[in-house]
Amino acid sequence: MKKNLKEHHEKTFGKDESYETFVNEIKSMAEGIMQLSLQAVQIYTPIVNRIISDTSATQHEVEYLMDFMLSLCYTEEFTNLFKKLCRGIFPRFPDTVYCYAKYYFEEYEDDFENLDISEKFLRENKFI
């Protein structure tokens, strides 16, 4: 795989640019994305806690938050926070949780077409 990537890089960018520099730039970008995700967890945690504890939170507020959170579930830490929100709001908004769990699996799982998103499935995957 590494050889194929190196060949692709040389074909695309020529041999003037160092392959190691290319790999290091990719690693740096990946590390930056991971740092942003950790910052997002810190920012979103108090918001999630407020929505869970605030029984006056509306479905619109919950869906608005979940829309933003869904796009950030590419790390385990943020996915766990998203699942915490799902568990916390499930008693009040079960249809919303089912809907967003389905969106999650469509976005982040390869074989989502074959999934039966039942209550049992959501429990097994810690969404509720």
Number of residues written out for the chain:
128
pTM over 0.85: no
pLDDT, one tens digit per residue, over 78-97 is 999 999 999 999 999 999 99
Burial environment of residue 89 by CB neighbours within 10 A (0 to 12, 13 to 18, 19 or more):
buried
Q: Say what the pLDDT of residue 78 is.
A: 95
Average pLDDT over residues 49-58: 94
Residue pair 40/72 in contact by the 8 Å Cβ criterion? yes
